[in-house]
Amino acid sequence: MKLLEGKTAIVTGAARGIGKAIALKFAEQGANIAFTDLAIDDNAKQTEKELAALGVKVKGYASNAADFEDTHKVVDEIIKDFERVDILVNNAGITRDGLMARMSEQQWDMVINVNLKSAFNFIHALTPVMMRQKSGNIINMSSVVGLTGNASQANYSASKAGMIGLAKSIAKELGSRGVRANCICPGFIITEMTGVLSDEVKKKWAEQIPLKRGGTPEDVANAALFLASDLSSYISGEVISVTGGMNM
């Protein structure tokens, strides 16, 4: 039997990159997938097609995860279409890097809203659903810089540190209702976001990693699958680093 057979998962920001890899991994293991992105564009339609080919129920939803009301509306749609939600992966995220002395209020607000407030929005909308079910599994996608900080990324680091605090708080608050919440902290993962970096920067990153390579979206998806499945049924409020050892 597949690890997620019969379960329904929401994965935010899943049209590409790590979110898409997680959605595909979950679908391979039998989960029905509701995924969100800002727009159901060509990338999202391709993701929907690839997921459907795995024989599970799939639907993509256009949603601004940073908007409270919009998030509640899309969750209501998902519940109507799928009847239940067992797993939530808060993956939506952006970067707007800059030194603190030059960072604008807009850069700060955009990153906090998309990366952190979006997780609050979805958890808030799904809390009554999971409480009624007396079960639920929340995975917040944090980052290694949420643990270590990083120059020129005060906004991003703060948002990702907040994801850890949020997951731990929810784990304590909803644990008695059968709801688990954990975090994944990816390190240097080769995606479109990191693909714009120069070869020199990538080489420098690799030198800092004990495994001497960047990770793949599938490396992160494998950790997400573990946390989403019953293999981790007694794990809650924890942080799993997928960094190749770079944060030791």
CB atoms closer than 10 angstroms to residue 230: 10
Is residue 29 within 8 Å of 55, Cβ to Cβ?
no
Contact 239, 182 (CB under 8 A): yes
CB-based contact 220:185 (threshold 8 Å):
no
CB 182 within 8 A of CB 171: yes
CA distances 143 to 1, 71, 211, Å, are 32, 23, 18
Q: What is the DSSP letter of 145?
A: H
Question: Per residue in 154-172, is it b (16+ CB within 10 Å) or e — as a string?
Answer: bbbbbbbbbbbebbbebbe
List residues with catalytic annotation.
Answer: 156
